[in-house]
Amino acid sequence: MTKIVSATREWPSQPMLVGAFARDVWFWHAHGIETERATEDIDISMEFPDWRGFNRFSKILHEIGFSQPVPNHPEKLLDAQSGQKIDILPFGALAVDGHAIIWPTDQSRWSILGFEETYRHAALLKLPLSSSPGIRIATLPAMVLLKMVAFYERLQDRKRKDGADIAFILAHYLEAGNKDRLMRAPEANIMDQVEGDLQRAAALLIGKDMGRLAGLDARAEIVAHLKQEIGSASRCPLARELVRRLSDGNFGRARQVLGDLLTGIQTGSLP
C-alpha cells in the first residue's frame, strides 16, 4: 500500500481504500472488532480524467514492481515483492454517463454510482513509517452505500459476499465509535424512535449517515431498492441475506431493520 501512495505523490487525486480491507481497518485496526471474512486483495479507487490517465498510472505501477496476472483485466495487479493483490477501481470523468465505466479491454460495464461522494467524504488514513500524506479511506456509511449498489447490480455474483458485509457493518456500527452519538444531539431521539432497540438504532443511524453523504442519484437508487425490499412479496434479496446473518432467521425482523435504514436515509440531510 505504501508503494501505491508513493506512486501517487504527484498525482492530482489521492488513492482511496474501499472494500473489505477498508472494513478491516475500521473494525479491527481502529476498534479491535474481529471481522468474519479475511480478504486477500486490497481494493483501491482512484479518480481519472480518461483512460489514458488510467493507463499512465498503470505504467507507473508496472515500473515499481507490479504485474498484471490476469489477461484483459488491467484493474487486477500483483506486487511481485510482497505477493499482495491490488484491484484498482477507477471513477471520474472517464465514466460514459456519470454512473458507469466501460472497460476498453472487454467492454464490461461497472457502476461507479456513489464513488464521487464516497471520495469527498472519505477519511484520511496515515501510514506508519511513511512521510506521505496518507491514503483516503471510505467511511462505513459510504461502504454500505457502495456495497448496496454492487449487491443489486451483480446480484448472483455479489449477494453472499456483499450481503455478509452489509449485515456485519449493521451489526457492529455502534461498537465502531458510534454508540455515544445516541446520547447527544442531533441523534438523541433515535432510541425513542426505535423503542430502545439497539439493532434498529444502528440501522437508523447509519441510514442517516448515508443520507448525509449520498448524492441524489445514489440516494434515489438505494431508496427504490429498500422500498422494494420491505414491500415486495418476493423481490427482497437483501432481506433474505439479513435473515441468514443478522436477524436469527426472522424475516419480519430483517425487513424492520431495512425499514429503519430507509427511514434514516430519507431523513438524513442532503449533501
Sole residue written with cell 431521539: 189
Report whether pLDDT(271) > 60.
no
What are the pLDDT digits (tens) for 5-21?
888 877 888 899 998 89
Question: Which class in CATH covers the domain with range 2-138?
Answer: alpha beta
In the DSSP assignment, the letter for residue 25 is I
Q: Give the residue extent of every domain in the chain.
A: 2-138, 143-267
8: number of Cβ within 10 Å: 20
Measured CA angle at 119 (ends 246, 117), to 5 deg: 75
- Cα Rg of the chain, angstroms: 19
Rounded Cα distance, 48 and 17, in Å: 16
Q: Where are the beta strands (DSSP E) in 75-224?
A: 76-79, 85-91, 100-102, 109-111, 123-125, 135-137
Cβ–Cβ under 8 Å, residues 15 and 44? yes
pLDDT in tens, 34-54: 997 767 789 999 999 999 999
pTM of the full structure: 0.93
